Each structure stands twice: as C-alpha cells, then as structure tokens.
C-alpha cells in the first residue's frame, strides 16, 4: 500500500475512534484484490457519520459492539469488500430510518 493511502486510512481511523494500525492491517490484506481500499474506507466513514454522528467515541463504540443484524461486531466484518458493503448498506438503511 502506498504512503498516501496509508495516511488516508490512518486519518479515517482517527476520525472513527479506532486504532490506525488495525485499519491499515485490514487494508493491507490481500483480500481486496481489485478494490480501491481507500474508497471503501471513505464510504464507510461517510455512512457512519451520517448514521451515528461525528463523535469518535460513539463511532468506535458502534464498530466494537456486536450487532445482531451483522452477525457480530461491525469491525470484524471489514476483512473483505463484501463485509464492507454489508456494513455500509446497514448504516445507509439505518440512517434513512433514523431521519
């Protein structure tokens, strides 16, 4: 992963209230062949802020808390592009319902 993407992912991690190393580790895995990992993180950040707000503590709590609809902790779903998509879709639906 190039330095610009790593810096971007670390900035997203800070905004989401989670350890940058954890998100960089996820992004560096080989499970994202052909996917723009930075774009996935940007979509996740946008969906989380829209549904939950800007407070990093609330965002981190949501990522770490088991969610029955996602069959576990949201952060554990982020190990591949399909998991990202499931979490993003859940947040987008929740954001729409909570308005």
* Confidence check: pLDDT of 3 > 90: no
pLDDT at 55 over 80: yes
The structural domains of the chain, with segments of one domain joined by +, span 3-98
DSSP annotation of 99? -
Of residues 42, 31, 18, the one with CA closest to residue 79: 31
Identify the weakest region by mean pLDDT among 17-31, 53-67, 79-93. Answer: 17-31
Greater model confidence, 25 or 74: 74
Average pLDDT, the chain: 85
């Amino acid at each position: 992963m190039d330095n610009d993407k790593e810096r971007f992912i670390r900035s997203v991690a800070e905004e989401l209230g989670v350890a940058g190393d954890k998100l960089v580790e996820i992004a560096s895995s080989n499970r994202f062949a052909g996917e723009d990992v930075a774009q996935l993180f940007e979509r996740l950040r946008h969906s989380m802020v829209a549904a939950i707000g800007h407070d990093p503590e609330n965002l981190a709590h949501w990522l770490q808390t088991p969610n029955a609809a996602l069959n576990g902790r949201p952060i554990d779903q982020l190990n591949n592009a399909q998991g990202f998509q499931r979490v993003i879709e859940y947040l987008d639906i929740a954001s729409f319902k909570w308005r």
